[in-house]
Amino acid sequence: MFTGLVLALGEVSGLAKSRDGARLTVTAGALAGETKIGDSIAVNGTCLTVVEIKGETLSFDLSGESLHATNLGSLRIRDRINLEPSLRPDSRMGGHFVTGHVDGVGKILSRTREGEMERIVIGVDERLAAYLVEKGSVAVDGISLTVVDVFRDSFSLVIIPHTAKMTTIGLRSAGDTVNVEVDILGKYVAKFLGKQKSGLMDVLVREGFA
């Protein structure tokens, strides 16, 4: 489990693809010294297991599914990546609950300057947009962000300078792909309402809540 609060910007130092997956190696700086083999690290929002540590570098094995379902397979040497270690029992809970299980890959459609801020519009599959709500949470490349607007197949965000400086979102351009994980609480609510539609929804309508 993660929070979407990126603790370090890493750099891709190797991506060796094979028939069944790939070995991803990243330079993680001081974070590597705090990491052990078997630890979980969110890499651009994707939960990966550390399989090797050499100095300041961490290595991860990627399955074919991870390459298919995320943007990790398109990484290149020297690309910057967001890194967040998993929560510990004594960790502060900021951001929102992020599982590290990417729901889909979105594409940045536009970036617009609004004073010191930037508005970013990200295109996604309609099935993902259905789980997003205005002022709700979403993880984009592992960054916990607040949704501003929701459209049929896209959503918008407003990025503050600090977030742009400390994460990869400040390096992204229109056309770039990003990993998107919708709020898990929203998925559970949607599933529950779907199963209870004939009962709960009737109650909500009768009581004026829907």
Q: Are 179 and 47 in contact (CB under 8 A)?
A: no
Question: 132: which 2 tokens?
Answer: 């997003």
87: which DSSP letter? Answer: P
| Number of CB atoms found within 10 A of residue 113's CB | 8
Spatial distance between the Cα atoms of 73 and 168, rounded to a whole number of angstroms: 17
Report DSSP letters for 25-49, one per residue.
EEE-THHHHT--TT-EEEETTEEEE
Find, among 98, 116, 118, 121, the residue nearest to 170 by Cα: 118
Looking at residue 201, what is its pLDDT? 56
Reported as a single tens digit per residue, the pLDDT across 57-113 is: 999 999 999 999 999 999 999 999 999 999 877 666 777 889 999 999 999 999 999
Mind listing the domains of the chain with CATH numbers? 8-85 (2.40.30.20), 104-193 (2.40.30.20)
- Grade residue 206 by pLDDT with cuts at 50, 70 and 90: low
98: which DSSP letter? Answer: B
Q: Alpha-carbon Rg of the chain, whole angstroms?
A: 18
Give the phi and the psi of residue 205 in degrees, each rounded to 5.
-65, -45
Looking at residue 63, what is its pLDDT? 95
What percent of the chain is modeled with pLDDT above 90? 80
Q: Are 81 and 44 in contact (CB under 8 A)?
A: yes
Please report, as a single letter, which amino acid is at residue 173: S
Average confidence (pLDDT) over 140-166 = 97
pTM: 0.88
| Number of residues in the chain | 210
Spatial distance between the Cα atoms of 64 and 167, rounded to a whole number of angstroms: 26
Give the phi and the psi of residue 184 in degrees, each rounded to 5.
-60, -30
Helix (H, G, I), strand (E, B) or coil at 112: strand
Looking at residue 186, what is its pLDDT? 76
Give the phi and the psi of residue 36 in degrees, each rounded to 5.
-120, 155
Helix (H, G, I), strand (E, B) or coil at 107: strand
